[in-house]
Structure 1
Amino acid sequence: MSRRLIVAALAAAVLAAGCASSGGRPKPAALQDFQPQLAAQPLWRSSVGTLNFSLTPALRGNTLVLAGSDGAVLALEAGSGRELWRASAGAPLAAGVGSDGRFASVVSRDNELLTFEGGKLLWRQRLNSRVVTAPLVAGERVFVLGVDRSVQAFDAIDGHQLWRLQRPGEPLTLLEPGVLAPFKDTLLVGQGPRLAGVDPLQGSLRWEVAVALPRGSNEVERLADLVGPAARSGDVVCARAFQSAVGCVDAQRATLLWAKNVGGIAPVGADARQVFGADASDRISAWNAASGEVAWTSDKLLNRDLSGALALERAVVFGDAQGYVHFLSRDNGQTLQRLATDGSAVVGTPLRAGDAVIVLTRKGGVFAFRPE
């Protein structure tokens, strides 16, 4: 089982999806020959240690903040890969890192929230809910989303709790990173299949929009939690609901623009023109961002355990389980470029930092490429 999906019940955890039947997982599609149509050169390479969880680095300005499963937390200069500072949580981590450029926060497997400033540990706080989503640091606050969908806010300077929001939920929740993001003066939170807008000062609910309608004969089949990170373009936020749908929400008006029933577990990528994502078999689709109409689909990378998607001007970028980074044409999904990393799976979602694309691998490799 190459991609491990787990759902947590109130009393126990069960395997939800990603397990193959008696025949085993389908063989990954063979890579096809192509004629490069996009130049890309490696800029720099670094390491963060082994990554046993999904990690998308926190980028603020030219500072890239990362965390490894063994507890390493470090900041790199995004343009050069130069290390700015390095610290240790002193324990293995359960979730990635959130940072506003000044403060950086992580969550340990011992269920402690730790916050650093410039590599110095400021405080630690015991949490009462398991966490697998990277904290969000904004406005001198640290926001934490639990697997039970509770949301907590802490003062970034001293760690005291400011508020806690607990919503009623289904008995099963997804043990995968959820949606936790800023939007103007609102905190966006995934609450099951709903995208919720929360007052970041008071912790009160402002609005919520359903991206999917859970279906199925049992609780596992009805799982439709929003998978993070969400993709934002202006006022529009697009996200995948686990194995259920892809949809876009106008977060300013709190309205659903469109949603399409489609399976899949990896985050989508989007900009003002298109939304991109791979389904459960890694069939890639491009949707019109305004209408949700399918622009094209591609079967070239079936069963290659694709990462989340990153939309660029000319290409959409995916990583796969063998460490390849695929640059596909936005127009038709044809391969424009393919780059190798260290042979281990690309984790999280590729990230754009200026004119560079940052990719992380299971072995902890941090790779920066510059597409021309």
Structure 2
Amino acid sequence: MKRIFLIAIITTLALGACHSKKSNIQPPTELTDITPTVSVQRVWEESVGDGAQDSGVRMRPAYDNGVLFAASTDGVIEALDAKTGKTLWRKKTRTHGWLGFGGKKIRKDALYAGGPGVGEGLVVTGTLDGHVYAFDAKTGEQRWVAKVSSEVISAPVVLKNITVVRTNDGNVFGLNTETGKQVWLYDQDTVPALSLRGNGPLLVARGVVFFGTDDGKLVAIRLDDGEKLWDLPLATGEGRTDIQRLDDADVGVLLDGSTLYASAYHGELTSIDGPTGRPGWHRKFSTYTSMDIGGQAIVGVDDASDVWAFDKSTGSDLWKQDALEWRWLSAPAVQLDKYVVVGDLKGYVHWLDLSNGKIAARERLSHKAIRAQPLVVGNMVYIEDVEGHIGAYRLGSSTP
């Protein structure tokens, strides 16, 4: 069956327009001046290849032991000193392709779009043509390459024995971390004709892989062999058109203790008992991107780009911030259990006070959209825009 993928931002623009009587497209809310309540310093800025460009994916750097790893759709993968931004190594990967019908075999850039993921001394990333590449994290030397069933547009999870890879046709692969050979395959039998563009990050904990699906379910499979343990519907699409019935749950899963939290587009935010898959509280909340958790709060961005905080014990509202409405925010990231960091479609980075949702600081990385969730490492946060510009920001002291 032919599938149609929508970039989440474009999808939500269209759906938001369906509810507007004044305009066909909801314009982004204009920013107003703020009085910062915390200091933020840009430490360095670098460019890594071409970034995600117009592929619709969310390229996010990865961090390990003082090193930042980033990849781009023009075949570049790079290791940077996280403190200074200095390049430690840079790898340009070329692969084979065919030119036209019956044409000659040519060399082309590896179209990185998934990752990178890092662990066990490896940096692993996937491509738009269904390959997975593994590199030595210290030297950049290629260790192995594997073929999977479809494009890889989320970060692989690299563990001691198994590297878990999600493909955009709904399959999940378990690859041998040392060799790249396939150990198991979880095959999603059916996929909807229409879904949001992108895969949420995989969550692996206590020998179980958790992920949301394009048809609105949360699935748990065993890490050792890929066998399904349980699944839980998070959304049931309703309406007359495919867009109205869109119920994608492919937006990432949170774990706090033994409790999972997951949401879906046109669905609900639900708390779930991890070992059994039994649902706890649930509430209406439609989101196109991943969430984060800090202190007592679950923080998410709804399909109008309003930022919400919910009590993780009950699901009740803590606060809502609508000053960034229709600015098509990235997934939120909680920093030091005090602030919520989001990027927007104009390249701005916003820090919100986790206790009340008020905007505490603002910086501008570039004039290009920030789709990927900010990467928080202590008092540092790393932001990447769609053209591969990476900014490193240090959170300072709060002001009265």
Cα deviation for residue 14 of structure 1 reads 5.7
**Distance change (3 Å), C-alpha of 1:15 and 1:339:** closer
Q: Secondary structure at the match of 2:34?
A: coil
* Bigger shift: residues 227-236 or 124-133: 227-236
Q: Give yes or no for the alignment of 1:65 onto 2:69.
A: yes
Cα deviation for residue 219 of structure 1 reads 4.2
Matched residue, 2:2:
11
Q: Deviations over 1:147-192 (max 9, x none)?
A: 2221111112222110111133343344312341211221222234
Measure, in 1, the Cα distance between the counterparts of 2:185 and 2:196. Answer: 20
**Distance change (3 Å), C-alpha of 1:85 and 1:236:** farther
Cα deviation for residue 58 of structure 1 reads 2.3
Q: Give yes or no for the alignment of 1:50 onto 2:54.
A: no
Measure, in 2, the Cα distance between the counterparts of 1:101 and 1:326. Answer: 33
* Bigger shift: residues 283-292 or 24-33: 24-33
Q: Secondary structure at the match of 1:270?
A: strand
Matched residue, 2:294:
271
Cα deviation for residue 300 of structure 1 reads 0.6
Q: Give yes or no for the alignment of 1:109 onto 2:131.
A: no
Q: Give yes or no for the alignment of 1:349 onto 2:340.
A: no
* Amino acid aligned to 1:70: D
Alignment of 1:174-323 (within 5 A): 174-191=196-213, 192-312=215-335, 313-323=337-347
Alignment of 1:131-150 (within 5 A): 131-150=152-171
Question: Where does the alignment leave 5 or more consecutive residues of structure 2 unmatched?
Answer: 95-109
TM-score, normalised on structure 1?
0.89
Cα deviation for residue 30 of structure 1 reads 1.3
- Higher Cα Rg, which structure: 2
Q: Secondary structure at the match of 1:332?
A: coil
8 Å Cα contact 2:237/2:266 also seen in 1? no
Alignment of 1:12-91 (within 5 A): 12-13=3-4, 15=6, 17-20=11-14, 21=17, 23-52=23-52, 53-90=57-94, 91=110
Q: Deviations over 1:307-330 (max 9, x none)?
A: 100112221111111111111122
Measure, in 1, the Cα distance between the counterparts of 2:277 and 2:160. Answer: 22
Q: Secondary structure at the match of 1:222?
A: coil
TM-score, normalised on structure 2?
0.84
Q: Deviations over 1:279-311 (max 9, x none)?
A: 121122111111110111121111111110011
Measure, in 2, the Cα distance between the counterparts of 1:84 and 1:163. Answer: 34
RMSD: 2.2
Q: Give yes or no for the alignment of 1:92 onto 2:86.
A: no
Q: Secondary structure at the match of 1:97?
A: strand
8 Å Cα contact 1:307/1:318 also seen in 2? yes
Q: Deviations over 1:241-297 (max 9, x none)?
A: 123233333324533233322223122121241111221211221111111101111
8 Å Cα contact 2:381/2:394 also seen in 1? yes
Cα deviation for residue 101 of structure 1 reads 5.3
Measure, in 2, the Cα distance between the counterparts of 1:67 and 1:248. Answer: 33
* Bigger shift: residues 103-112 or 223-232: 223-232
Measure, in 2, the Cα distance between the counterparts of 1:181 and 1:14. Answer: 23
Number of residues of Structure 1 aligned to a counterpart in Structure 2: 363
Equivalent residue for 2:184, pick from 163, 173, 176:
163
Question: Where does the alignment leave 5 or more consecutive residues of structure 1 unmatched?
Answer: 1-9
8 Å Cα contact 1:179/1:188 also seen in 2? no
